[in-house]
Copies of this chain bind each other. A is one copy, B any other.
Amino acid sequence: MNKFTSVHDVPNIKQFVTDALALKANPYANQDLGKNKTLGLVFMNPSLRTRLSTQKAALNLGMNVMVMNLDKEGWALETQDGVVMNGSTVEHIREAAAVMGEYCDILGLRSFPKLNNREEDYSEDFFNKFVKYCGIPVISLESATRHPLQSFADILTIHETWKPIPNPSQGEGSRRPKVVLAWAPHIKALPQAVPNSFAEWMCKAQVEGMIDFTIAQPNGYELSEDFTAGAQITHNLDEALVGADYIYVKNWSSYAEYGKVLTYPDGWMMNNEKLKLTNNAKVMHCLPVRRDLELSSEILDGPNSLVIHQAGNRLWAAQAVIKAILEDLK
């Protein structure tokens, strides 16, 4: 693997999940692989889970880690070419990325969308230029439109916890879990990166026969079809919840009216009442979660919540990604 920026970098999800679970069972078996190798983690935006889990994953593999909060410890970067740099940007991304590539073997980069201009955000201009100019493998720590380390941990968590009772009347095998991505309320305009990425991974996992995938999103909150092809899509949450085994709760701002928080009908917050519609579904969220706004405390503190387990799996997802890249380093 020479970069990890979306599910398209992953040949086979099932195999990748298997690799990650092997690392979880035996975390320190590959420390020679990372010896004298350095992972640089570059943050243009804050991070808690991603920072710590990726750092720990690299340490488990014997690597050194250097963290760079470029938004706070650095300076403003220019991304456009042909600009006379006589304004507020101090360094061009061409130089900044190339220099970081000189000191590291792998770079992780987090860069959020600005949510002002859809075309600009969805071009992934900043992220792609960083990948291009740094000259070494890059791991997305969440870009403007995707958060693949999160999505990988999500499918890992589903695969790991899915223990269906085999139903002989349906044949000898086990049935596939029904996974529902459910939009939830929020007071702020959040990126579509997590749901885009989750949808993209779930659609591929569905093709691989791992799950069945449904998206419930209110009118006006439809995700870009570039990420959702193959999913069952509905505007009716209750309908989607029927028979669900996993509910992935997440807010996002509008894609159509880009970056806007639109009005929405009542009844989109997940709670125990709604849980009754499901197949005693496990509830997931990428965190941070706004309690009793996106998701009820009763669920988060109850037996159906997977959110901490899921966050813990961020470590093994990151470790599998770094290991795959280390194995292909020239």
Contacts and interface: CB of A to CB of B under 8 A. Distances in A.
A313 to B, nearest CB: 9
A111 to B, nearest CB: 16
A260 interface: no
- Does more than half of chain A's interface fall in helix, strand or loop, or is it mixed? mixed
A6 to B, nearest CB: 24
A99 B315 CA distance: 11
B55 A36 contact: no
Contact of A297 (B55, B82, B90): B82
A292 interface: yes
B52 A288 contact: no
How many copies of this chain sit in the oligomeric assembly?
A: 3
A28 B36 contact: yes
Nearest to A55: B66
B86 A290 contact: yes
B95 A308 contact: yes
Interface stretch (A71-79, A115-123, A239-247, A274-282): A71-79
B288 A90 contact: yes
Interface stretch (A42-50, A167-175, A207-215): A42-50
A291 interface: yes
A158 interface: no
Interface stretch (A56-64, A136-144, A229-237): A56-64
Interface residues of A, number: 61
Interface string A275-315: 00000000000011111110001001100000110011001
A95 B297 CA distance: 11
A27 interface: yes
Nearest to A294: B85
A178 B2 CA distance: 42
Given A38-B59, A83-B292, A46 B74 contact: yes
Interface of A: 27-28, 36, 38, 40, 43, 46-49, 51-53, 55-56, 59-60, 64, 66, 68-70, 72-75, 78, 81-86, 90-92, 94-96, 98-100, 102-104, 187, 287-293, 297, 300-301, 307-308, 311-312, 315
